[in-house]
Amino acid sequence: MPAANAPIESFGFQQQFYTKLPECYVEAEAAKFSSPGLVYFNTEFAQSIKANFPEDEDALASLFSAQTIPHDAKPIAQAYAGHQFGHFNPQLGDGRAMILGELSCTDGSIIELDLKGSGPTNFSRNGDGKAGLGAMLREVLISEGMHALGVATTRSLAVVTTGEQVFRSPPQAGAVLARTASSHIRIGTFQFFAARKQNDVLEKLVHYCIDRHYPLLKNSPQPAFDLLHASIKAQAKLVAQWMGVGFIHGVMNTDNMLIGAETIDYGPCAFMDIYDPRTVFSSIDKNSRYAYMNQPPVAQWNLARFAETLLPLLHEDHDEAILLATDAVKSFSDEYAAQFRLVMSCKLGLQEEADPEAVDSLIEEWNRVLYECKLDWTSTHRALSDYLNENIRYEDFIALFQENVSIAAWLEQRSKLSKADCSSMLQVNPIVIPRNHLVEEALDAASLNANFAPFDELLAVLQAPFTQPKNDKYTQAAPTAFTDDFVTYCGT
């Protein structure tokens, strides 16, 4: 068993990004922390990663706070730019995070290990480069909850407290999150080099992203064009998944959209309780740019920015390149519509071969009824699943709709498009989601009172979202008084 600060000769890191894209990062060094302590370790996830994890908790804490750097690690801060709430910033970059390298998983995939809150880098822009415990634990709850719901996401591997306070509101214990992604390359990564007209780096990025994320395109004669189309399809699928579970990202800037189409950055995100397309919780989203209903068009807007970075690689004639990019970005609308139709068809138990126009009409009417009756998005879909699987009576289901006569007509219309077997609905309509009030309750207990029991219990429930929990409090929507005043923050 190694001592806490003993060097790890070989952790298992590969260095593909470090070796192939030297223009895309600066070397980084973690801050020195007085007494790192392990407060969360994702043992089950770790078992799927081919790495030499220490067995001792002190050694794990030292590793995940970067106080011990394995000999095969190459700590780097990634360079990227981005549109933040529609305004372009030509240089953002990893201001409080560093990538140590890639790791292989037992399923054959490759992931990057990133330490968030590890201290300032060359991209910190006068920030302290650190993170508060509450924000890092929030990433654990939401990312692991999203993973259990089947939504493409970054994963949380560990959280380490640093032994010092960080100055947030209110001040709280400092922490580092060990986070993984298939890669951390973003639309903003391409924007960084497009703004500097470094077309040679853009071309290297295109081939790297194809190798990592879309290997079926490796022999493409038009790699930039095909990468754009593949990204459009992947982002359409991801946003449709968000919409299906009522997730509101809260900060859909181009630097928070990964080319690998995984959800990243769980700062001001939240989940919708009562169905209202205008729902927004982020304290920094003053104009509701990233409200629930705006997520699909914002994704398309972001992809247009991605397409702009690829223009020099799409065609040597600039006008022809614009036409190719425009047609590609326009395809997002149809791609998203098809993905959302698929998500909702599964949630409503509809036949895959049903007429798309009839399905779209049925979805629109269902959502209208939910909105009129002010019904909870998650529990109402689950109630429909239970009713169609004969787990609750017709009278009990109808009672949810407060005598709204439209629901009877909707059920009759649905029967014409429905599957004979509706059991699959029970595996797509969760009983439990990361309810905002429960998340805040658990985070306050852990970060302000060092009481991790609510966090541990909530995490266990979120990891089994389709199973009835022992405590009904996890299935109930937040009180109206909470939701009316609830605001999420960035955490920096």
What secondary structure does DSSP assign to 217-269, as a single string? Answer: GTT-SSHHHHHHHHHHHHHHHHHHHHHHHTEE-S---GGG-BTT--B---SS-
Neighbours of 145 (CB within 10 A): 27
Please name the residue ranges forming H helices in 349-479. 356-373, 377-388, 394-399, 406-415, 436-449, 453-462
Q: What is the CA radius of gyration of the chain?
A: 23
Distance of CA 334 to the CA centre of its chain: 23
Distance of CA 43 to the CA centre of its chain: 21
Between β-strands 82-84 and 87-89, what pairing exists: parallel, antiparallel or unpaired? Answer: antiparallel
Q: Residue 293 half-sphere exposure, CB side, CA atoms within 13 Å? A: 8
Q: Residue 97 half-sphere exposure, CB side, CA atoms within 13 Å? A: 21
> How far is 86 from 464, CA to CA, in rounded Å?
37
> How far is 280 from 271, CA to CA, in rounded Å?
9
Tokens of 64: 């995940």
Closest CA to 176 of 202, 158, 195, 201: 158
> How far is 476 from 81, CA to CA, in rounded Å?
40
Enzyme catalytic residues: 255
Residue type, 462: L
- Residue 71 is classified by DSSP as T
Rounding to the nearest 10 degrees, give the CA dihedral for residues 442, 473, 485, 154: 50
CB within 8 A of 321, min separation 6: which ones? 311, 312, 314, 315
